[in-house]
Structure 1
Amino acid sequence: MNDAAPRPQLSGLPRSLDMEAARARLEERRARFEQMAAQTQAMADQMKSLSATASDPNGLVTVKVDSTGNLTDIELSARTQRVAPDVVSRAIMDTLAEAKRRITDQTGEVIAATVGADSETGKAVAADLKERFGSGEDEEPRR
């Protein structure tokens, strides 16, 4: 005589169908995870190759930054010799800020095209950029 109580069936379905549904859900989650990982890798690969160049409106300075906002090149025109050092310094700093703003814009485009701007990954990367480069909201953009 079997004293064990019968196992309840989930959702009123036979146990074999419940297992099939569980496997299907698990496979679906695995596929979503793999897709998200591939999108995140594509985003990272594209972001590595980003760079931005900016010049000041007076033609004194041109700077280039890499994907992390690090200065990779700076060109000073001959005009800088006829301008006060504080003007040159301000032009360098303003132009560097503009180049970093451009990198932030480019990164935003990559995020939107790969993982989506509203995804958790996209939001996290965007928040990191704001922290590293500042929001830029207090500065007037220059083109």
Structure 2
Amino acid sequence: MFDGDDLDAAERRVDEWQAGLERRAAEARDLASRLTGLTASAASRDKLITVTVNATGVTALELAEGIRQRPAAQTAAAIVETMRAARARLATLVTECTEETVGADSETGRAVLGAYAARDV
């Protein structure tokens, strides 16, 4: 049925498969660890607003005193614009981390990048 060479080849294939799974799992853990601490910030064009975001949302909003001189509607629009810029920067960082660890074209990479894209404001 099987000779010794066939069994050795089958064992090597199983060992290679297991090593590949372990490598991909380690890469996924590395990516998850890196993404957990990832933040991005952006400032408004006039530098009166700074927004910092992470994967779960806004972590900081800083308004300079000069913001008091403008209408509330203008401030609100600038905050949203700045938040979008920060989220875009975060998406770029997520893409870079994904490419460096699991690869953007891997199944894991596509899932991570798709999840971030779906969160976009």
TM range, smaller chain:
over 0.9
Structure 1 CA distance for aligned equivalents of residues 102 and 119 of structure 2: 20
Q: Which has the larger radius of gyration?
A: 1
Hey, what does 1:128 align to over in structure 2? Answer: 115
Deviation per residue, 1:70-107 (Å, 9 max, x gap): 11111111111110000000010010011011110000
Question: Sequence identity of aligned pairs in percent?
Answer: 31
Hey, what does 2:22 align to over in structure 1? Answer: 34
Matched, 1:22 2:21: no
Is residue 69–residue 103 contact of structure 1 (8 Å, CA) maintained in 2?
Answer: no
Hey, what does 2:89 align to over in structure 1? Answer: 102
Structure 1 CA distance for aligned equivalents of residues 51 and 45 of structure 2: 13
Secondary structure in 2 aligned to 1:50?
coil
- Aligned counterparts, 1:1-143, within 5 A: 9=1, 15-66=3-54, 68-133=55-120
Is residue 54–residue 96 contact of structure 1 (8 Å, CA) maintained in 2?
Answer: yes
Is residue 61–residue 77 contact of structure 1 (8 Å, CA) maintained in 2?
Answer: yes
Secondary structure in 2 aligned to 1:117?
coil
CA RMSD of aligned residues (A): 1.2
Query: How much has 1:69 moved relative to structure 2?
Result: 4.5
Over 3 Å counting, the alpha-carbon distance change for 1:104 and 1:129 in structure 2 is same
Structure 1 CA distance for aligned equivalents of residues 115 and 74 of structure 2: 31
Moved over 2 A (4+): none
Hey, what does 1:3 align to over in structure 2? Answer: none
Structure 2 CA distance for aligned equivalents of residues 15 and 112 of structure 1: 43
Name the amino acid aligned to 1:109.
E
Query: How much has 1:60 moved relative to structure 2?
Result: 2.1
- The number of residue pairs the alignment matches comes to 121
Query: How much has 1:23 moved relative to structure 2?
Result: 0.9
Name stretches of at least 5 consecutive residues in structure 1 with no aligned partner.
Answer: 1-8, 135-143
